[in-house]
Protein backbone atom coordinates (compact mmCIF):
# COMPACT_ATOMS: atom_id res chain seq x y z
CA UNK A 1 0.00 0.00 0.00
CA UNK A 2 1.20 3.43 -0.77
CA UNK A 3 1.37 6.25 1.68
CA UNK A 4 0.17 8.66 -0.96
CA UNK A 5 -3.08 6.84 -1.44
CA UNK A 6 -3.95 6.14 2.15
CA UNK A 7 -3.23 9.58 3.56
CA UNK A 8 -5.82 12.28 3.84
CA UNK A 9 -5.69 15.23 1.46
CA UNK A 10 -3.15 17.71 2.67
CA UNK A 11 -4.49 20.74 4.49
CA UNK A 12 -3.99 23.76 2.35
CA UNK A 13 -3.22 27.04 4.04
CA UNK A 14 -6.00 29.62 3.83
CA UNK A 15 -5.09 32.72 1.86
CA UNK A 16 -3.46 35.19 4.19
CA UNK A 17 -3.15 38.91 3.72
CA UNK A 18 0.34 39.99 4.48
CA UNK A 19 0.57 42.87 6.94
CA UNK A 20 1.81 45.93 5.13
CA UNK A 21 2.94 48.06 8.02
CA UNK A 22 6.21 49.91 7.86
CA UNK A 23 6.96 48.97 11.46
CA UNK A 24 9.32 46.00 11.65
CA UNK A 25 7.43 43.00 13.01
CA UNK A 26 8.24 41.61 16.39
CA UNK A 27 10.27 38.42 16.65
CA UNK A 28 7.25 36.15 17.05
CA UNK A 29 5.39 37.72 14.11
CA UNK A 30 8.44 37.31 11.93
CA UNK A 31 8.40 33.60 12.60
CA UNK A 32 4.69 33.40 11.79
CA UNK A 33 5.19 35.29 8.54
CA UNK A 34 7.82 32.78 7.62
CA UNK A 35 5.42 29.95 8.31
CA UNK A 36 2.63 31.52 6.31
CA UNK A 37 4.77 32.26 3.33
CA UNK A 38 6.17 28.83 3.27
CA UNK A 39 3.42 26.99 1.35
CA UNK A 40 4.11 29.05 -1.77
CA UNK A 41 7.81 28.19 -1.75
CA UNK A 42 7.04 24.76 -0.49
CA UNK A 43 4.80 23.80 -3.39
CA UNK A 44 7.69 24.30 -5.80
CA UNK A 45 10.01 22.56 -3.47
CA UNK A 46 7.64 19.61 -3.13
CA UNK A 47 7.37 19.24 -6.85
CA UNK A 48 11.10 19.66 -7.39
CA UNK A 49 11.83 16.96 -4.82
CA UNK A 50 9.42 14.54 -6.44
CA UNK A 51 10.83 15.22 -9.89
CA UNK A 52 14.39 14.78 -8.69
CA UNK A 53 13.52 11.44 -7.16
CA UNK A 54 11.61 10.35 -10.27
CA UNK A 55 14.50 11.41 -12.49
CA UNK A 56 16.91 9.37 -10.36
CA UNK A 57 14.66 6.35 -10.74
CA UNK A 58 14.53 6.64 -14.50
CA UNK A 59 18.23 7.45 -14.75
CA UNK A 60 18.98 3.72 -14.84
CA UNK A 61 16.65 3.22 -17.79
CA UNK A 62 18.25 6.17 -19.59
CA UNK A 63 21.72 4.70 -19.14
CA UNK A 64 20.49 1.32 -20.33
CA UNK A 65 19.04 2.84 -23.50
CA UNK A 66 22.16 4.90 -24.22
CA UNK A 67 24.32 1.83 -23.65
CA UNK A 68 22.27 -0.39 -25.95
CA UNK A 69 22.01 2.19 -28.72
CA UNK A 70 25.72 2.93 -28.43
CA UNK A 71 26.71 -0.71 -28.65
CA UNK A 72 24.32 -1.31 -31.55
CA UNK A 73 25.67 1.72 -33.38
CA UNK A 74 29.27 0.59 -32.88
CA UNK A 75 28.86 -3.12 -33.40
CA UNK A 76 25.60 -3.75 -35.24
CA UNK A 77 27.08 -3.89 -38.71
CA UNK A 78 30.00 -6.03 -37.52
CA UNK A 79 27.68 -8.72 -36.20
CA UNK A 80 27.52 -11.16 -39.10
CA UNK A 81 27.16 -14.91 -39.35
CA UNK A 82 30.87 -15.33 -39.98
CA UNK A 83 31.52 -13.37 -36.77
CA UNK A 84 29.87 -16.25 -34.92
CA UNK A 85 31.89 -18.94 -36.70
CA UNK A 86 35.34 -17.31 -36.96
CA UNK A 87 38.24 -17.55 -34.56
CA UNK A 88 40.00 -14.48 -33.25
CA UNK A 89 42.23 -12.89 -35.84
CA UNK A 90 44.91 -10.28 -36.27
CA UNK A 91 42.65 -8.71 -38.86
CA UNK A 92 39.69 -7.11 -37.12
CA UNK A 93 37.26 -7.82 -39.97
CA UNK A 94 38.03 -11.55 -39.74
CA UNK A 95 37.82 -11.84 -35.96
CA UNK A 96 35.05 -13.95 -34.45
CA UNK A 97 33.75 -15.37 -31.23
CA UNK A 98 33.51 -19.12 -31.79
CA UNK A 99 36.31 -19.94 -29.34
CA UNK A 100 34.72 -17.71 -26.72
CA UNK A 101 31.23 -19.07 -27.24
CA UNK A 102 32.30 -22.69 -26.89
CA UNK A 103 34.64 -21.80 -24.02
CA UNK A 104 31.84 -20.09 -22.15
CA UNK A 105 29.53 -22.99 -22.91
CA UNK A 106 31.92 -25.54 -21.44
CA UNK A 107 32.81 -23.41 -18.43
CA UNK A 108 29.22 -22.66 -17.51
CA UNK A 109 27.94 -26.20 -18.15
CA UNK A 110 30.64 -27.83 -16.04
CA UNK A 111 30.26 -25.21 -13.32
CA UNK A 112 26.50 -25.81 -13.22
CA UNK A 113 26.98 -29.58 -13.04
CA UNK A 114 29.34 -29.11 -10.11
CA UNK A 115 27.43 -26.48 -8.20
CA UNK A 116 23.78 -27.57 -8.48
CA UNK A 117 24.03 -30.86 -6.52
CA UNK A 118 26.22 -29.28 -3.85
CA UNK A 119 24.13 -26.11 -3.61
CA UNK A 120 20.77 -27.87 -3.48
CA UNK A 121 22.18 -30.40 -1.01
CA UNK A 122 23.41 -27.61 1.24
CA UNK A 123 20.03 -25.88 1.04
CA UNK A 124 18.21 -29.10 1.96
CA UNK A 125 20.54 -29.61 4.88
CA UNK A 126 19.94 -26.10 6.18
CA UNK A 127 16.18 -26.07 5.68
CA UNK A 128 15.16 -29.68 6.34
CA UNK A 129 17.78 -31.11 8.68
CA UNK A 130 19.72 -28.55 10.65
CA UNK A 131 17.00 -26.02 11.37
CA UNK A 132 18.77 -24.61 14.43
CA UNK A 133 22.01 -24.73 16.35
CA UNK A 134 25.51 -23.33 16.07
CA UNK A 135 26.37 -25.25 12.91
CA UNK A 136 23.50 -23.60 11.02
CA UNK A 137 24.49 -20.17 12.35
CA UNK A 138 28.08 -20.77 11.27
CA UNK A 139 27.07 -21.78 7.76
CA UNK A 140 24.61 -18.91 7.45
CA UNK A 141 27.10 -16.25 8.54
CA UNK A 142 29.64 -17.81 6.23
CA UNK A 143 27.23 -17.74 3.28
CA UNK A 144 26.30 -14.10 3.72
CA UNK A 145 29.99 -13.19 3.91
CA UNK A 146 30.87 -15.23 0.83
CA UNK A 147 28.22 -13.39 -1.17
CA UNK A 148 30.13 -10.15 -0.59
CA UNK A 149 33.60 -11.41 -1.48
CA UNK A 150 34.84 -9.71 -4.67
CA UNK A 151 34.90 -12.16 -7.57
CA UNK A 152 38.59 -11.54 -8.14
CA UNK A 153 39.35 -13.06 -4.74
CA UNK A 154 37.63 -16.24 -5.92
CA UNK A 155 39.91 -16.01 -8.93
CA UNK A 156 42.95 -15.96 -6.67
CA UNK A 157 41.62 -18.97 -4.77
CA UNK A 158 41.04 -20.82 -8.04
CA UNK A 159 44.52 -19.97 -9.26
CA UNK A 160 46.24 -21.19 -6.10
CA UNK A 161 44.09 -24.29 -5.53
CA UNK A 162 43.08 -25.59 -8.97
CA UNK A 163 45.64 -24.16 -11.38
CA UNK A 164 48.75 -24.57 -9.21
CA UNK A 165 47.44 -26.97 -6.53
CA UNK A 166 49.45 -25.13 -3.88
CA UNK A 167 52.55 -25.75 -5.98
CA UNK A 168 52.48 -29.46 -5.09
CA UNK A 169 53.41 -30.55 -8.60
CA UNK A 170 55.48 -27.50 -9.39
CA UNK A 171 58.57 -29.37 -10.48
CA UNK A 172 57.06 -32.61 -11.74
CA UNK A 173 53.72 -32.10 -13.46
CA UNK A 174 51.89 -35.43 -13.74
CA UNK A 175 49.57 -36.81 -16.36
CA UNK A 176 47.07 -39.06 -14.65
CA UNK A 177 45.69 -41.78 -16.90
CA UNK A 178 42.18 -42.85 -15.95
CA UNK A 179 40.81 -45.89 -17.74
CA UNK A 180 37.10 -45.87 -18.47
CA UNK A 181 37.03 -49.35 -20.03
CA UNK A 182 36.27 -48.39 -23.62
CA UNK A 183 38.53 -45.37 -23.61
CA UNK A 184 40.76 -43.44 -21.26
CA UNK A 185 41.06 -39.92 -19.94
CA UNK A 186 44.20 -37.97 -19.33
CA UNK A 187 44.04 -35.66 -16.35
CA UNK A 188 46.93 -33.25 -15.87
CA UNK A 189 48.07 -32.53 -12.33
CA UNK A 190 47.97 -29.71 -11.38
CA UNK A 191 44.94 -28.88 -13.52
CA UNK A 192 46.75 -25.87 -14.96
CA UNK A 193 45.04 -23.30 -17.14
CA UNK A 194 42.26 -25.60 -18.23
CA UNK A 195 38.51 -25.44 -18.65
CA UNK A 196 38.17 -27.53 -15.48
CA UNK A 197 40.06 -24.99 -13.35
CA UNK A 198 37.87 -22.21 -14.70
CA UNK A 199 34.67 -24.18 -14.21
CA UNK A 200 35.54 -25.10 -10.63
CA UNK A 201 36.29 -21.46 -9.84
CA UNK A 202 32.98 -20.36 -11.36
CA UNK A 203 31.23 -23.12 -9.39
CA UNK A 204 32.55 -21.64 -6.14
CA UNK A 205 31.22 -18.23 -7.24
CA UNK A 206 27.79 -19.63 -8.08
CA UNK A 207 27.46 -21.70 -4.92
CA UNK A 208 26.18 -18.98 -2.53
CA UNK A 209 23.63 -17.80 -5.13
CA UNK A 210 22.31 -21.33 -5.72
CA UNK A 211 22.13 -22.09 -1.98
CA UNK A 212 20.25 -18.88 -1.16
CA UNK A 213 17.73 -19.38 -4.01
CA UNK A 214 17.17 -23.05 -3.18
CA UNK A 215 16.63 -22.26 0.49
CA UNK A 216 13.98 -19.70 -0.42
CA UNK A 217 12.23 -22.22 -2.68
CA UNK A 218 12.25 -24.82 0.10
CA UNK A 219 11.08 -22.35 2.73
CA UNK A 220 8.07 -21.38 0.62
CA UNK A 221 6.67 -24.90 0.98
CA UNK A 222 4.29 -25.10 3.97
CA UNK A 223 5.20 -27.66 6.61
CA UNK A 224 1.70 -29.11 6.53
CA UNK A 225 2.47 -31.15 3.41
CA UNK A 226 5.62 -32.49 5.06
CA UNK A 227 3.54 -33.53 8.05
CA UNK A 228 1.00 -35.17 5.75
CA UNK A 229 3.80 -37.18 4.18
CA UNK A 230 5.16 -38.27 7.58
CA UNK A 231 1.63 -39.23 8.63
CA UNK A 232 1.50 -41.61 5.68
CA UNK A 233 4.61 -43.30 7.01
CA UNK A 234 7.26 -41.76 4.74
CA UNK A 235 10.75 -41.33 6.11
CA UNK A 236 12.52 -37.97 6.28
CA UNK A 237 14.41 -38.49 3.04
CA UNK A 238 11.39 -39.97 1.22
CA UNK A 239 9.42 -36.87 2.16
CA UNK A 240 12.16 -34.61 0.83
CA UNK A 241 12.78 -36.62 -2.32
CA UNK A 242 9.19 -37.25 -3.37
CA UNK A 243 7.19 -34.44 -1.80
CA UNK A 244 9.31 -31.37 -1.07
CA UNK A 245 11.86 -31.38 -3.89
CA UNK A 246 9.43 -31.78 -6.82
CA UNK A 247 7.50 -28.73 -5.65
CA UNK A 248 10.68 -26.73 -5.12
CA UNK A 249 12.16 -27.47 -8.56
CA UNK A 250 10.82 -24.41 -10.43
CA UNK A 251 12.03 -22.06 -7.69
CA UNK A 252 15.43 -23.71 -7.62
CA UNK A 253 15.62 -23.54 -11.42
CA UNK A 254 15.06 -19.79 -11.32
CA UNK A 255 17.94 -19.34 -8.90
CA UNK A 256 20.22 -21.63 -10.89
CA UNK A 257 19.56 -19.78 -14.16
CA UNK A 258 20.34 -16.46 -12.52
CA UNK A 259 23.57 -17.92 -11.13
CA UNK A 260 24.42 -19.25 -14.60
CA UNK A 261 23.87 -15.79 -16.10
CA UNK A 262 26.19 -14.34 -13.49
CA UNK A 263 28.84 -16.98 -14.20
CA UNK A 264 28.58 -16.38 -17.95
CA UNK A 265 29.35 -12.68 -17.49
CA UNK A 266 32.27 -13.10 -15.08
CA UNK A 267 35.61 -11.99 -16.43
CA UNK A 268 38.07 -11.29 -13.64
CA UNK A 269 38.22 -14.75 -12.02
CA UNK A 270 38.70 -16.38 -15.43
CA UNK A 271 41.60 -14.05 -16.19
CA UNK A 272 43.11 -15.12 -12.87
CA UNK A 273 42.86 -18.84 -13.65
CA UNK A 274 44.59 -18.24 -16.94
CA UNK A 275 41.97 -17.89 -19.66
CA UNK A 276 43.78 -17.44 -22.95
CA UNK A 277 43.61 -13.99 -24.47
CA UNK A 278 44.15 -15.19 -28.00
CA UNK A 279 43.11 -18.72 -28.85
CA UNK A 280 42.28 -20.35 -32.19
CA UNK A 281 40.85 -23.54 -30.76
CA UNK A 282 37.63 -24.63 -29.10
CA UNK A 283 37.77 -26.97 -26.08
CA UNK A 284 38.22 -30.54 -27.30
CA UNK A 285 38.17 -29.34 -30.90
CA UNK A 286 34.35 -29.38 -30.91
CA UNK A 287 33.16 -26.59 -33.15
CA UNK A 288 29.58 -27.70 -33.72
CA UNK A 289 27.19 -30.21 -32.14
CA UNK A 290 27.85 -32.53 -35.11
CA UNK A 291 31.53 -32.75 -34.10
CA UNK A 292 30.46 -34.62 -30.98
CA UNK A 293 29.53 -37.62 -33.13
CA UNK A 294 32.44 -37.25 -35.49
CA UNK A 295 34.96 -36.96 -32.73
CA UNK A 296 33.39 -38.16 -29.45
CA UNK A 297 36.69 -38.31 -27.63
CA UNK A 298 36.69 -34.50 -27.75
CA UNK A 299 34.10 -34.56 -24.98
CA UNK A 300 36.67 -36.10 -22.65
CA UNK A 301 39.47 -33.83 -23.81
CA UNK A 302 37.50 -30.60 -23.53
CA UNK A 303 37.64 -30.19 -19.72
CA UNK A 304 41.44 -30.34 -19.84
CA UNK A 305 41.89 -28.08 -22.82
CA UNK A 306 42.96 -24.46 -22.81
CA UNK A 307 40.12 -22.02 -23.03
CA UNK A 308 38.95 -18.51 -23.60
CA UNK A 309 35.50 -17.11 -22.90
CA UNK A 310 33.21 -14.53 -24.43
CA UNK A 311 33.83 -11.83 -21.75
CA UNK A 312 37.57 -12.50 -21.99
CA UNK A 313 37.50 -11.88 -25.74
CA UNK A 314 35.57 -8.66 -25.18
CA UNK A 315 38.16 -7.54 -22.64
CA UNK A 316 40.96 -8.37 -25.06
CA UNK A 317 39.38 -6.44 -27.94
CA UNK A 318 38.54 -3.42 -25.79
CA UNK A 319 42.16 -3.24 -24.67
CA UNK A 320 43.60 -3.38 -28.21
CA UNK A 321 44.91 -0.05 -29.44
CA UNK A 322 43.48 -0.40 -32.97
CA UNK A 323 40.13 1.43 -33.14
CA UNK A 324 38.57 -1.26 -35.38
CA UNK A 325 38.68 -3.69 -32.49
CA UNK A 326 36.24 -1.43 -30.61
CA UNK A 327 33.64 -2.43 -33.19
CA UNK A 328 34.57 -6.08 -32.84
CA UNK A 329 34.19 -5.72 -29.06
CA UNK A 330 30.78 -4.09 -29.52
CA UNK A 331 29.62 -6.93 -31.74
CA UNK A 332 30.80 -9.47 -29.14
CA UNK A 333 28.96 -7.49 -26.43
CA UNK A 334 25.79 -7.82 -28.49
CA UNK A 335 26.29 -11.58 -28.61
CA UNK A 336 26.91 -11.73 -24.85
CA UNK A 337 23.87 -9.58 -24.04
CA UNK A 338 21.73 -11.76 -26.31
CA UNK A 339 22.91 -14.90 -24.49
CA UNK A 340 22.20 -13.29 -21.11
CA UNK A 341 18.77 -12.21 -22.31
CA UNK A 342 17.96 -15.83 -23.16
CA UNK A 343 18.87 -16.75 -19.56
CA UNK A 344 16.73 -13.93 -18.19
CA UNK A 345 13.71 -15.00 -20.21
CA UNK A 346 14.21 -18.60 -19.13
CA UNK A 347 14.41 -17.46 -15.50
CA UNK A 348 11.20 -15.47 -15.73
CA UNK A 349 9.40 -18.42 -17.33
CA UNK A 350 10.60 -20.67 -14.50
CA UNK A 351 9.51 -18.05 -11.98
CA UNK A 352 6.06 -17.80 -13.52
CA UNK A 353 5.71 -21.58 -13.44
CA UNK A 354 6.75 -21.79 -9.80
CA UNK A 355 4.09 -19.19 -8.96
CA UNK A 356 1.29 -20.78 -10.93
CA UNK A 357 1.98 -24.26 -9.62
CA UNK A 358 2.09 -23.60 -5.93
CA UNK A 359 -1.50 -23.52 -4.72
CA UNK A 360 -2.01 -24.80 -1.25
Interaction of residue 315 with other proteins, rule CB under 8 A: yes
> Backbone phi, then psi, for 221, in 5-degree steps?
-90, 125
User: Reduced to 3 DSSP states, what percent helix, strand and coil does the chain have, rounded to the nearest 5?
Assistant: 70, 5, 25
Q: Give, as ranges, the residues between 196 and 255 that touch other proteins (CB under 8 A).
A: 204, 207-208, 211, 235-237
Site size with other proteins, rule: CB under 8 A: 95
Secondary structure element (H or E) that encloses residue 189, with its range: strand 184-189
Tell me the C-alpha distance between 77 and 327, whole Å.
9
Q: How far is the CB of 7 from other proteins (least distance, A)?
A: 4
Q: Which stretch binds other proteins (CB under 8 A): 23-31, 57-65, 79-87, 293-301?
A: 57-65
In the list 183, 319, 352, 357, the residue contacting other proteins (rule: CB under 8 A) is: 319
Q: Are 105 and 113 in contact (CB under 8 A)?
A: no
> Backbone phi, then psi, for 236, in 5-degree steps?
-55, -50
Q: Which stretch binds other proteins (CB under 8 A): 163-171, 172-180, 222-230, 351-359?
A: 163-171
In the list 144, 174, 184, 186, the residue contacting other proteins (rule: CB under 8 A) is: 144
Q: Which stretch binds other proteins (CB under 8 A): 68-76, 101-109, 178-186, 249-257?
A: 68-76
For the residues of 169-188, what is the DSSP string, one character each?
TSSS-EEEEEE-SSSEEEEE
Q: How far is the CB of 318 from other proteins (least distance, A)?
A: 5
- Alpha carbon distances (Å) from 148 to 141, 210, 266: 11, 15, 15
Q: Give, as ranges, the residues between 78 and 117 that touch other proteins (CB under 8 A).
A: 117
Tell me the C-alpha distance between 293 and 286, whole Å.
10
Q: Which stretch binds other proteins (CB under 8 A): 78-86, 125-133, 175-183, 296-304?
A: 125-133
In the list 16, 32, 40, 66, the residue contacting other proteins (rule: CB under 8 A) is: 66
User: Which residues contact residue 299 at a Cβ distance below 8 angstroms, ignoring those fewer than 6 apart?
Assistant: 284, 286, 292
Q: Which stretch binds other proteins (CB under 8 A): 56-64, 80-88, 181-189, 279-287?
A: 56-64
Question: Residue 34 or residue 236: which is nearer to other proteins going by CB?
Answer: 236
Question: Residue 218 or residue 286: which is nearer to other proteins going by CB?
Answer: 218
Amino acid sequence: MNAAQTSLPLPTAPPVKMPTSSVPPAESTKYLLHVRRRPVFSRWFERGFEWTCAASTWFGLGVLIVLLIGVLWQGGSWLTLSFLTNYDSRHPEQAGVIAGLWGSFWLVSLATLLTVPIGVGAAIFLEEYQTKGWLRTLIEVNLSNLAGVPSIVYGILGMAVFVKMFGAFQHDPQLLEVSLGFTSMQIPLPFGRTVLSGAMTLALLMLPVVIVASREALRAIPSSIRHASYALGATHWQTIRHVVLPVAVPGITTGVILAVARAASETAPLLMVGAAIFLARTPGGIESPADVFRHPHGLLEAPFDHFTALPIQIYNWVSRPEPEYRHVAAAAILVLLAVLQVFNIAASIARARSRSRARW
